[in-house]
């Protein structure tokens, strides 16, 4: 497989993201099925709308949520603010059928909207031209780190094309990957900038690895509250506990006692418990079925 890199990770992220959208006939925004709204990026969607490209919401890791949850989210996500229907595809890279459905939807959307205008000059340096991703259908792939962009690209290409890692941000620069004879994908740099202080979002969507979180307590508490609201029984089954008090601090202590995560003199190692909860969530072991 021939991979071409255009630009480097030194190019400002938002300029690079804008360039991907401009060069694409349509854009896939990859989202996490467990937290669809949280994994959307308003600025990316504003750019897509401004540049007037059709978008397909690709909800990845659908094997981690229940069918009822999928149905609810399709209804909520399928409508735009202006009332127009949006294309929504739920996929699991473990299920080849869902990948075939995504390929079908890509072709359907392309037939509806057609080919974009050809770019003659770089939008970032008017004096220089740059090589474009030329193909019958050019598809931009965007999304936060760890939502599964590389896995989806690999599945669309039917074999391993890009490095897949549980660590976030393993793809750098602008990359063109041929998926089929007529479809070429433009891979994003692996990073859509988040607000620096948005620690909870970083942790919940896995955009920041557990070890890199500045305050795992915030994320662990958010996960516990999510389960208390959506599916307390699922949390209890996974950790084999019966929640006595619906308070994150009490639940962390209860889980610490159950797992024997103890410090000297029998004190609960709360940090270890919180990191374990976040790690179980990010790795898809702790599933929110509701």
Other CB atoms within a 10 A radius of the CB of residue 94 amount to 12
Write the pLDDT tens digit of every residue in 255-268.
999 999 999 888 99
Q: What are 46's two structure tokens?
A: 């504003």
Is residue 14 domain-shared with residue 127, that is, in the same domain? yes
Domain-located, residue 194: no
CA gap 215, 210 in Å, rounded: 10
* pLDDT above 90: residue 253: yes
* pLDDT above 50: residue 106: yes
CA gap 211, 203 in Å, rounded: 10
Q: What is the CATH number of the domain that holds 39?
A: 3.40.50.300
Main-chain phi, psi angles of 3, to 5 degrees: -110, 130
Choose among 240, 242, 235, 231: nearest CA to 220: 235
Is residue 180 domain-shared with residue 203, that is, in the same domain? no
Burial of 124 (0-12, 13-18, 19+ CB in 10 A): middle
Domain-located, residue 287: no
Write the pLDDT tens digit of every residue in 213-225.
888 898 999 999 9
CA gap 173, 7 in Å, rounded: 6
Other CB atoms within a 10 A radius of the CB of residue 41 amount to 18
Report pTM: 0.73
Burial of 281 (0-12, 13-18, 19+ CB in 10 A): buried
Domain-located, residue 26: yes
Is residue 211 domain-shared with residue 268, that is, in the same domain? yes
Is residue 212 domain-shared with residue 120, that is, in the same domain? no
> What whole-number percentage of the chain has pLDDT above 70?
77
Is residue 62 domain-shared with residue 178, that is, in the same domain? yes
Domain range for 210 is 199-282
Angle between helices 232-239 and 216-230 (to 10 degrees): 120
Write the pLDDT tens digit of every residue in 174-215.
788 889 989 999 987 656 666 656 778 878 877 777 777 888
* pLDDT above 70: residue 58: yes
- Final residue belonging to a domain, choices 156, 187, 218: 187
CA gap 98, 152 in Å, rounded: 11
């Amino acid at each position: 497989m021939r991979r071409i890199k255009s630009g480097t990770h030194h190019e400002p992220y938002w300029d690079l993201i804008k360039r991907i959208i401009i060069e694409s006939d349509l854009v896939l925004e990859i989202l996490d099925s467990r937290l669809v709204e949280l994994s959307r990026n308003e600025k990316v969607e504003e750019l897509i709308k401004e540049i007037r490209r059709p978008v397909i919401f690709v909800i990845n890791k659908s094997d981690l949520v229940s069918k009822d949850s999928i149905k609810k989210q399709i209804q909520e996500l399928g409508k735009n603010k202006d009332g127009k229907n949006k294309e929504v595809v739920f996929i699991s890279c473990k299920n080849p059928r869902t990948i075939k459905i995504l390929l079908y939807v890509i072709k359907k959307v392309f037939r509806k909207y057609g080919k974009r205008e050809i770019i003659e000059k770089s939008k970032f340096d008017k004096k220089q031209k740059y090589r474009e991703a030329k193909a019958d259908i050019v598809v931009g792939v965007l999304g936060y780190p760890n939502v599964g962009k590389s896995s989806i690209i690999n599945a669309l290409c039917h074999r391993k094309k890009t490095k897949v890692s549980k660590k976030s941000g393993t793809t750098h620069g602008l990359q063109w990957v041929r998926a089929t004879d007529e479809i070429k994908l433009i891979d994003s740099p692996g990073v859509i900038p988040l607000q620096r202080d948005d620690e909870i979002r970083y942790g919940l969507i896995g955009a920041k690895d557990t070890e890199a979180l500045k305050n795992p307590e915030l994320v662990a508490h958010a996960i516990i509250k999510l389960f208390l609201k959506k599916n307390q029984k699922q949390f209890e089954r996974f950790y084999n506990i019966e929640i006595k008090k619906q308070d994150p601090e009490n639940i962390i202590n209860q889980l610490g006692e159950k797992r024997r995560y103890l410090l000297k003199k029998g004190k609960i190692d709360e940090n270890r418990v919180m990191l374990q909860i976040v790690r179980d969530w990010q790795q898809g072991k702790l599933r929110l079925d509701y």
